[in-house]
Structure 1
Amino acid sequence: MSKSIATLRKKAISKGRMSLYLDFYPPIWDQDANCFTRREFLKLYVYQKPADQYQKMANIENMHTAELIRARRQNEINKMEIYSAFEREQLKIQEVGRESFVDYYKRLGQKKEGNNLSIWNCAIVHFEAFLKGEDLLFQDVTVTLIEDFRDYLLIARSLRNTQKKLSRNTALSYYNKIKTTLKRAYREDKLKSDINSKISCIKEMESQRNFMTLEEIKILFATPCPDLLVRKISMFSVLTGIRYVDIAKLTWSEIQYIENDGCYIIFRQKKTQGAESMPISEEAFELLGRRKGEKELVFKGLRKCDVDKAVPAWIKLSGIKKHITFHCFRHTYATLQITAGTDIFTVSKMLGHRSVKTTQVYAKVIDSKKREAANRISLE
């Protein structure tokens, strides 16, 4: 596109007046409207037939002002042609700096799915509450502001129950969403400095991971379950350690049986997006039943609401007093593996953890059980 020319023009309006405006050809980019435009109305007018000296003077002054604006706009257009690379870069930084960081944060959140989408939405609601509903531009994002948000999260109330504070790990989860946004914004040159690397963290509080012993598992599976499909996937989770979300989306194309080697599940974890190749036992393989179409779900007809209803009822029928959810079957798999002597690195890989540190909590649980066992024998 060639360089634009700004021309001062007039347009007839009411009461014998002419509105003054600039006509750009070719069109120029309007930052506020976010589109190309050919006109800029100056909110100035002249009289077509001035009736007195006052109107004549007003015409002269307004034409002079309009011409000054035209010259300034033309100068701005010309200046763009002679900016140095450094000046153009600075202009770009200033332009990006005036973009909304909050809108950018929301756009990232909208790309998430399922439970992760819900967590991002809650995190965004808390960030907007911290900002008291005001917008935040990229140029105003600072280390101090983000650390103030960190402090806010540590005392904030839950959205579901305003009588309760956010748990530390929930605050950490929400804080990690803003950290992810900061990292991406810096990578995309929307932030001038790597703010994420400079801010303080929220330390994770080690959460209680309820699990079942092998004896309890045997009692549970000897107890009739209100839902046979829930029983089947519960057994499958105990035998493999796979999360409910990954069991629910498992298709037959992800099940592979290799002669003289056994069955493997080749899938991508929904939570971490990590690609996994997981060997499973013959017992777990038999739970899958007869093979069907490659794109069909292995556990067809599964609904989370049915699982959430059936598991507590089943646990109650078995007489087990622990608070057990479906996810506890994954914890049970991990603790049973470590109890059986499987090294923690292998268990970490089987669970699909990115870091062995995540798996170490199960080893601590086992160590505490060993300590309890050691203290049971006393000669006093």
Structure 2
Amino acid sequence: MIDVYVDEYITFLKIEKGLSSASLSSYRQDLKHYTNYLADNNIKSLDNVDTEVLIQFIKFLTDKGLSAQTISRTQSTLRNFHHFLLNQNIIEVNPAVKLTAVRGEKKLPEYLTIEEMEILLNTPDASPAGLRDNTLMEVLYASGIRVSELISIKRADINTEMGFIRVSGKGSKERIVPITDFVAKKLDHYVAEVRPYLLKTDDNDDLFITNRGRGFTRQGLWKTIKKYELLSGIRKNITPHTFRHSFATHLIENGADLRAVQEMLGHSDISTTQIYTQISTTKIREMYKQFHPRK
């Protein structure tokens, strides 16, 4: 019966909250671990779940070696799930409300320096595929959009004359992201000269298409970026998300307003954006230690 409530909750998150497939998958995975634990401990009813049961479950996850970040996310899932059950009158008390939050170490996201980004962007050749790859990487760096947002862009979503791209972010939230004149010209050339060469059928409206004339998948885009990581000789783990981190870091390092960067990234909470100020502070501290005469 508990699995039925999980299904109802996932449906609620999908329909009422508009969460992405990736977020829904994370919630379901967390709750699967939880329901398996309850079953293994012969707890068949949510009426028998109290705060102590949840504490023991968290201890069980900790003993398995899960990271503090994963456990913190699981605790959040439990609080939200039981809050849903409370609102549905399935339980009378939320036993997860007293769970102590686990503060995990926030790893600073890896980014490229401006010089490294310049090398990477100049790596593709002048073939149609190379020009396409250069353009899509320029768009990633110029806009800071997510992988899922890039592969979802249609031709009608770009306005190079006004200098913006319309993207659909998490929870189907639409936002307008500016692009530079430089990138707008690259997009114009790609759409007019390169894309028709790659296009196989007229019914594909995706902006960026593969050599087979289809829209990119997340995996396909990841492979493309890894290809240029290898060719560029840059010894860093470069993924499509690296462009997003580099975009935000470079803007903040050059004095951009934090709220503006938050808006462009599509972050609902500014605390998520603030991690990029930590990167800038860390870099300043490292330079200070390296160059101050009295070390």
Give TM-score scaled by structure 2 length.
0.79
Does residue 316 (structure 1) correspond to residue 235 (structure 2)? The answer is no
Determine the structure 1 residue equivalent to 2:4.
Answer: 103
Determine the structure 2 residue equivalent to 1:192.
Answer: 92
Per-residue CA deviations over 1:102-138 (Å, capped at 9, x if unaligned) read 3211343364653334323421331133224456423
Q: Structure 2 CA distance, aligned partners of 1:211 and 1:196? A: 37
Greater relative contact order, per chain length (Cα 8 Å cut-off, separation 6+): 2
Q: Structure 1 CA distance, aligned partners of 2:204 and 2:144? A: 23
Q: Report the structure number with the largest CA radius of gyration.
A: 1
- CA shift in 2, pair 1:266/1:308, >3 Å: closer
What is the correspondence of 1:323-334 to structure 2 with a 5 Å cutoff? 323-334=237-248
Instruction: Verify the 8 A CA contact 2:79 2:94 in the aligned structure 1.
Output: no
Determine the structure 2 residue equivalent to 1:86.
Answer: none
What is the correspondence of 1:67-216 to structure 2 with a 5 Å cutoff? 100-109=1-10, 111=14, 114-133=21-40, 134=42, 136-156=44-64, 165-216=65-116
Higher helix share: 2
> Identity of aligned pairs, percent?
23
Amino acid at match of 1:188: Q
Q: Which consecutive residues of structure 1, in runs of 5 or more, have no partner in the other structure?
A: 1-99, 157-164
Per-residue CA deviations over 1:89-111 (Å, capped at 9, x if unaligned) read xxxxxxxxxxx333211343364
Determine the structure 2 residue equivalent to 1:42.
Answer: none
Match of 2:166 among 254, 260, 266: 266
Q: How far is 1:214 from its partner?
A: 0.6
Instruction: Verify the 8 A CA contact 1:150 1:202 in the aligned structure 2.
Output: no
Q: Structure 2 CA distance, aligned partners of 1:126 and 1:299? A: 38
- CA shift in 2, pair 1:349/1:131, >3 Å: same
Instruction: Verify the 8 A CA contact 1:242 1:351 in the aligned structure 2.
Output: yes
Question: What is the DSSP-based 3-state SS (H/G/I as helix, E as strand, rest coil) of the residue aligned with 2:6?
Answer: helix
Q: Structure 1 CA distance, aligned partners of 2:244 and 2:26? A: 21
Q: How far is 1:273 from its partner?
A: 4.1
Instruction: Verify the 8 A CA contact 1:102 1:135 in the aligned structure 2.
Output: no
- CA shift in 2, pair 1:210/1:195, >3 Å: same
Give TM-score scaled by structure 1 length.
0.63
Per-residue CA deviations over 1:50-85 (Å, capped at 9, x if unaligned) read xxxxxxxxxxxxxxxxxxxxxxxxxxxxxxxxxxxx
Q: Structure 1 CA distance, aligned partners of 2:61 and 2:227? A: 35
CA RMSD, 1 decimal: 2.9
Q: Which consecutive residues of structure 2, in runs of 5 or more, have no partner in the other structure?
A: 196-201, 210-214
Q: Structure 2 CA distance, aligned partners of 1:275 and 1:295? A: 21
Does residue 233 (structure 1) correspond to residue 136 (structure 2)? The answer is yes
Amino acid at match of 1:209: P
Q: Structure 1 CA distance, aligned partners of 2:264 and 2:203? A: 24
Question: What is the DSSP-based 3-state SS (H/G/I as helix, E as strand, rest coil) of the residue aligned with 2:166?
Answer: strand
Match of 1:305 among 209, 219, 228: 219
- CA shift in 2, pair 1:313/1:195, >3 Å: same
Determine the structure 2 residue equivalent to 1:61.
Answer: none
Amino acid at match of 1:316: L
Match of 1:347 among 246, 261, 272: 261
Q: Structure 2 CA distance, aligned partners of 1:265 and 1:202? A: 38
Determine the structure 1 residue equivalent to 2:272.
Answer: 358
Higher strand share: 1
What is the correspondence of 1:31-70 to structure 2 with a 5 Å cutoff? none
Q: How far is 1:347 from its partner?
A: 1.2
